[in-house]
Chains A and B, each alone.
Chain A
Amino acid sequence: MPRPRIPVVVFPGSNDDRDAQRALERLGAEAPRVWHLETELPSDTAAVVLPGGFSYGDYLRCGAIARFSPIMGPVVRFARDGGLVLGICNGFQILTEAGLLPGALRPNESLSFVCRDVGLEVSETQSPFTARCTERRRLTIPVKHGDGCWFADPDTVEELDATGRILLRYAEGENPNGSVDDVAGVVNEHGNVFGLMPHPEHAVDPLLGSTDGALILGSLVDSARMSEAAPV
């Protein structure tokens, strides 16, 4: 089977890029790490991953500075042209700050950094990021963040919910950060940009307690492979 190319962007302060690379490669992708100073994405890029970490030391607001990195111009164009983009944790924060995803990530309600497995419910499986979850909608994937409290105004939340854009929610009683409506991950209007606070790349090996992350990243690899096969 062809290995779709899914670059993982590395910002100063990213720290989950190698885990994301390893997880994607294990799931059948080719996942080169791309330094943020690059001014274009590798040729034949089929999807892009913005990994977790603390880009630019979380200065000003989490994710606020990373959007000025040279690589973000091509990433934003790729997303606007319909390319698949996945933002994990800090990557999610960057995508909201760049205006590619709705809402904002605020400090956790508890003010504590949370690092533990959480139960998640997949609300929608008709998505390039959750297609593999049809048989299994309850997932266990770790979170590790200090600023994961997703916020949007009630009208926005209602619209996102009505249009099936809240792909992932914390299961009842599992919300680790005070996110509005238990939102753990949202997708953009066209369905090609997804951001989530949990770390699927840390849950692809039974040694680490769960392989549920492979359902999300595997969905992305499947979708990237299909988008690569489709004539552009």
Chain B
Amino acid sequence: MRATVLVRPKAGILDPQGQAVETGLRHLGFAVDRAHVGRLVELDLPTDDEADARAQVERMCEQLLANPLIESYEIELRT
């Protein structure tokens, strides 16, 4: 089973990278209201049990992949 983890800066936390990207896109002439820069982690897991995979990846996020103090995460699973 493949898990895709999206890690984002939490709402309200300063995101200078997002701001820089936003400014850059505006310079290129694009209309952008907001940009946030996060991180994507792709994992191949030795299980086909979705509940089990989700529970494992949530623990991975809490313990390492995200810093829950400043980042939120979202998990997508597919077989």
Which A residues contact B (CB, under 8 angstroms)? 60-61, 64, 97, 103-104, 106-111, 149, 151-153, 178
Contact = CB atoms under 8 A, between A and B. Distances in A.
A178 B64 contact: no
Main secondary structure on A side of the interface with B: loop
B43 interface: no
A111 B16 CA distance: 6
Interface residues of B, number: 11
Contacts of A151: 13-14, 69-70
Interface of B: 13-14, 16-17, 20, 39, 64-65, 67, 69-70
Nearest to A152: B69
B70 A109 contact: no
A97 B67 contact: yes
A64 B20 CA distance: 24
A106 B14 contact: yes
Given A61-B67, A104-B69, 20 more contacts: A60-B64, A60-B65, A64-B67, A97-B67, A104-B67, A104-B70, A106-B14, A106-B70, A107-B16, A108-B16, A109-B14, A109-B16, A110-B16, A111-B16, A111-B20, A149-B14, A151-B14, A151-B70, A152-B69, A178-B14
Contacts of A64: 64, 67
Nearest to A65: B64
Most buried by B among A107, A108, A178: A107
A77 B17 CA distance: 36
A60 B5 CA distance: 13
A149 B70 CA distance: 12
Contacts of B67: 61, 64, 97, 104
A103 B16 CA distance: 18
Contacts of B65: 60
Nearest to A107: B16
Nearest to A111: B16
B17 A111 contact: yes
Contacts of B64: 60, 64
Contacts of A106: 13-14, 70
24 contacts: A60-B64, A60-B65, A61-B67, A64-B67, A97-B67, A103-B69, A104-B70, A106-B13, A106-B70, A107-B16, A107-B17, A108-B16, A109-B14, A109-B16, A110-B16, A111-B17, A149-B14, A151-B13, A151-B14, A151-B69, A151-B70, A152-B69, A153-B69, A178-B16
Nearest to A149: B14
